[in-house]
Structure 1
Amino acid sequence: MASRTILSTGNVMTAGAGVIRKPTLEKSNTELVNSLRENFRAASSFTLPLGASPTTAAKNNPAARLAPAEWTKLGSDRVLYVPMEGGEPHGLSEEREEYDVTVKLFYLPGIPSSSRCTHTKEAVHLVCKELGISSIDLLIVSFPNISFDAEDEDISSEEDVNEWVRTYRTLEGLHSAKKVSKIGLAEFGATRLSQLLPHTNVKPSVDQINVRDCCVVPKPLILYAKERNIELLTHNDCTDILPVDTLKQLVVDEFGLFGTDAKLAPQWVVKYTAVIRSRGVVENKGYIAMAEVH
């Protein structure tokens, strides 16, 4: 059995309106789950051989779905790729300099912070491979169990700050290696920023916050960000973007991978977008997730 699995959606912009989330109507992980399901369904669908009759096909494959071994791939590193890479070319249609590529990496709850260095490098590598590029323009990281609150001025513990700093060192390393041009954070108010920034060498360029509940960006954060040339962006993603039960229902119950007694532990999720600068058009958008399998 695989010890880990990599799950990917491919380009959700080609999947149609049924997959792409309606921000005001649906939960913030609906797009991830729907697009994974659609990509798995497309990869596992039974295609009639040329000249074969539907009756013969139904007899040979009553479920009209390929066996998992035919649409997934177990690598030599015991990582199961779901689905396996297709024959269609990857990458962007125009020259690299025509795009702004943004990646948001979600560190999931319950995963040791000591794993983040490996997870970050792995996620960036897989996105670059998927898009056929060597670097990304902006990497935003989302820490678990942090939510933005306009009135929350509590100072985080020294242990939390030390974990952020250790993770941030990895981001700075990717910046030095020219794999990442700009670094971003998610859910950091003025207090959290003031605790982290003194320990950084490369200052964050972006702070992405969720204002769904408070609606207004607090003035202290606006002033703090302006003084330090940090761009404030908003979002409505959830931090626990891939709960264990959601993953098990999708992968095990719906698509029959691994077996009913398998235990899956989601490790990270990454969302990426490639926008054509001159037109402001999203050409490629997708998700990749990694989970351990026990």
Structure 2
Amino acid sequence: MGCSDVKQFLLCTGDVTKNLKSGIWNASRSVSNLELIKALENGSLQELNNAGDMVDAHTKIFVAPNDPLQHLDGKADDYEIIVKLFFLDGKNDSLDGRRGTTDQVFLYLNQLLGINNVSTLVASFPHVVFSKEGLKVTPDSRVYSSIDEVPEEEIQSWIDTWKILEGKVRQGKVGTLGISEFGVPELEKLIPNVEISPESTQINNGGECKLPLDLAKYAEQKRLKIFFHSDPPIFIDENEITEAIRHACPNLPARAHADWVVRYTILSRKTSVIHRKGYFVKASFM
């Protein structure tokens, strides 16, 4: 399999609930990306043939051979579909870049899973973390210590990107919007400048269950739901994505960078049980 002419990759884990042992599930409660990393390591991903007009000529799609992607069975109303979109493209936060990413995500959801719309879309932006407690800083982790450090152009990119997501709501592709890792200072920059406010904010509070008082009060005023999560600041790093691609494509000519990650969770509305859960990872050469 030749990869020298490839510019981009899409890695699809399939349903991670089928492949991961209980030990990984337990560990992922503290660091959620372990289930993604293990799925990429253990999946022996193979190139998807006959992808048709789904992607351009410079993109290869890899899927888990033991869990071929299938369109949802039953009616769309039978499921609640929650999608979290991790924008990992700090270098590509232009309006066109974010619009392209968002359009790609919905194209792949439709073509690979038969999903035309989602119940909730949660946006996660790079460089922003709610809690700095125990944060391990690496060369890949450029994290702002406060809102005062965030450049105005990056704050504007949050607003511009949110307006793109608002467009998906108006098109009927998204029911509600949520945001990740935004505390009061970040929410105060976003909400006054958009038309559709987030209905929830997800925070990683460093394992603490206690909510900061200012966020609790702000959430009550704005009718925001607050959820806890265990997603790390760097969801997948350069070494992890490069190694995963090289398992499937040994002659990879350069190191790779993850541009974005989507985690989709499909719940049965009748039972609230997870019907399927998986990841798409879009990567490109450094």
Same fold (TM over 0.5): yes
Equivalents in 2 of 1:25, 1:221: separation in Å?
Answer: 23
Alpha-carbon contact 1:276-1:282 (below 8 Å) kept: yes
For residues 223-247 of structure 1, the C-alpha deviation after alignment (integer angstroms, 9 at most, x for no partner) is: 1112112111110011311111111
Alpha carbons 1:19, 1:35 under 8 Å: kept: no
Query: How big is the alpha-carbon RMSD for the aligned residues of Structure 1 and Structure 2?
Result: 2.7
SS of the equivalent of 1:134 reads coil
Where in structure 1 are there 5+ consecutive unaligned residues? Answer: 44-70
Identity of aligned residues (%): 26
CA distance in 2, matches of 1:9, 1:16: 11
Residue number in structure 2 paired with 1:124: 106
Asked if the contact 1:274–1:283 (Cα under 8 Å) also holds between the matched residues in 2, the reply is yes
Distance 1:164 1:87, change over 3 A: closer
Partner residue, 2:187: 193
Structure 1 residues 225-240: aligned runs within 5 Å: 225-240=219-234
- Structure showing greater radius of gyration is 1
1:267 aligns with 2:259: yes
d(CA) in 1 for partners of 2:15, 2:67: 14
Is this contact kept in 2: 1:72–1:82, CA < 8 A? Answer: yes
Asked if the contact 2:28/2:230 (under 8 Å) is kept, the reply is no
The alpha-carbon deviation at position 36 of structure 1 amounts to 2.1
5+ long unaligned stretches in structure 2: 134-144
How far, CA to CA, are the matches of 1:129 and 1:257 in structure 2?
Answer: 27
Q: CA deviation at 1:293?
A: 2.9
TM-score relative to the length of structure 2: 0.83
C-alpha distance after superposition, 1:71-114 (max 9, x if no partner): 44486532111138899571223321121100001111543201
The answer to whether 1:36 aligns with 2:40 is yes
Partner residue of 1:184? 178
Displacement of 1:16 in angstroms is 4.2
- Partner deviation per Cα, 1:122-170 (whole Å, 9 max, x = no partner): 1132123333121001110111111003897644442232111111111
Which residue number in structure 2 is paired with residue 17 of structure 1?
Answer: 21
1:167-205 CA distances to partner (integer Å, 9 max, x unpaired)? 111101111111111111001111111111111111111
The alignment partner of 2:77 has SS state of helix
Provide the C-alpha distance between the structure 1 equivalents of 2:260 and 2:90, rounded to a whole number of angstroms: 11
Give the one of 79, 83, 92 matched to 2:72.
Answer: 92
Q: Against the structure 1 CA distance between its residues 150 and 198, is the aligned structure 2 distance closer, same or farther, given a 3 Å change threshold?
A: farther
Residues 255 and 154 from structure 1, CA distance in 2 versus in 1: closer, same or farther, beyond 3 angstroms? closer
Would the alpha carbon gap of residues 173 and 247 (structure 1) be closer, same or farther in structure 2, given more than 3 Å must change?
same
Comparing 143-152 with 204-213, greater Cα deviation is found at 143-152
In structure 2, do the counterparts of structure 1 residues 6 and 200 end up closer, same or farther at CA, with 3 Å as the change threshold? same
| TM-score, normalisation: structure 1 | 0.80
Aligned match of 1:50:
none
Q: What letter is aligned with 1:107?
A: F
Contact 2:122 2:180 in 1 (8 A): yes
Whole-Å separation in 1 of the counterparts to 2:197 and 2:181: 16
Residues in 2 aligned to 1:199 and 1:25: alpha-carbon distance in whole angstroms:
34
**What amino acid does structure 2 have at the position aligned with 1:276?**
S
Matched, 1:78 2:71: no
Superposition pairs for residues 208-247 of structure 1, below 5 Å? 208-247=202-241
Name the aligned partner's letter for residue 135 of structure 1: N
Q: 1:135 to 1:85 in 2, by over 3 A?
A: farther
Do the aligned partners of 1:205 and 1:229 also contact (CA within 8 Å) in 2?
yes
Q: How many residues align?
A: 264
Per the alignment, residue 138 of structure 2 pairs with none
Residue identity opposite 1:219 in structure 2: L
The DSSP-based 3-state class of the residue aligned with 1:239 is: coil
Q: Is 1:103 matched with 2:83? A: yes
1:283 to 242, 251, 275: 275
Does residue 146 of structure 1 match 2:150? no
